[in-house]
Copies of this chain bind each other. A is one copy, B any other.
């Protein structure tokens, strides 16, 4: 169905770091954390991030300029993403709702334009912060 992507060394190092983080990570925080593994320059981080986003292993939270690992087995490609973001503690959760994704995937605007991709970010207060 989808081609399996074998991650390169830098991609794997950076994915592992993001994947084990409990919160979205920013590029320069990633850089700081992987310098001991030999990744020294921003560009090395950004190149790995670009690729990981492209193949759907991570997602970018646009409103926060941060990255989280994808834990939604059904989105192997980053073309339909939805997140909830707590405005106090900044906790971010990927939303996985069949109803929502179906609704958005089929949404057409007035011009009948159909979209190939979307990103949705909800903001509010999480359970703990309420």
Contact = CB atoms under 8 A, between A and B. Distances in A.
A55 interface: no
Contacts of A73: none
A23 B116 CA distance: 21
A28 interface: no
Nearest to A97: B109
A115 B111 contact: no
B124 A117 contact: yes
A114 interface: yes
Given A62-B63, A63-B62, A103-B103, A116 B124 contact: yes
A123 to B, nearest CB: 4
Contacts of A110: 97
17 contacts: A62-B62, A62-B121, A63-B119, A84-B109, A93-B109, A95-B109, A97-B110, A109-B122, A111-B127, A113-B127, A115-B122, A117-B122, A117-B123, A117-B124, A118-B122, A118-B123, A120-B120
